[in-house]
Amino acid sequence: MKTKKETIDEIIYNTKNLRDRLILELQARCGLWVGESLKIKVSDISERKIVLREPKSGKEAEVAYMPDPITKRQEEYVRTQKLGPDDRLFPVSYSTVRSLIKNLGAPLKISIRPHDLRRHSATYASRNGSPWRSYRR
């Protein structure tokens, strides 16, 4: 039987659409809330750092860090979509992302929600000895 981590990793790996995969990875690997990821503009990204404007924490801003593979996919996505600095990275709604995640779980016969991906990020970080807050400042 697969663990939740293995299942989430499988869903991400099997997501071939670059935009959809990035949405999943930013939540599951970087600890972003879905609403935070939908507010990101291209100009909020610098190398591996994402400045989150109005994060869910209530702070004025926070910084989230992307692992190198995600950074490379994000750069490819911006380039192929011809996004400018003021463009939102993901011009979709919360309900679109919720449906996307639900539909990706269906073939595996699991019920999965956007927040499950964020929770996965925190669990994975703590199990590997990293303080959760080291990903966001």
CATH at 29: 1.10.443.10
Range of the domain at 57: 4-103
Asked whether 55 and 61 are in contact (CB, 8 A), the reply is: yes
- Residue at 17 is within a domain: yes
Candidate ranges 26-35, 81-90, 105-114, 125-134; pick with highest mean pLDDT? 81-90
Write down the pLDDT at residue 71. Answer: 96
Write down the pLDDT at residue 5. Answer: 76
- Residue at 38 is within a domain: yes
| Helix 94-105 with 114-127: angle, nearest 10 deg | 70
In terms of Cα–Cα distance, which of 50, 88, 43 is closest to 70? 50
- Residue at 112 is within a domain: no
For the chain, how many structural domains are there in total? Answer: 1
- Residue at 119 is within a domain: no
Asked whether 49 and 63 are in contact (CB, 8 A), the reply is: yes
- Residue at 18 is within a domain: yes
- Residue at 113 is within a domain: no
pLDDT digits (tens, 9 = 90+) for 42-79: 999 999 999 999 888 888 899 999 999 999 999 999 99
| 21, two tokens | 């995969």
- Residue at 15 is within a domain: yes
pLDDT digits (tens, 9 = 90+) for 70-110: 999 999 999 999 999 999 999 999 999 999 999 998 888 88
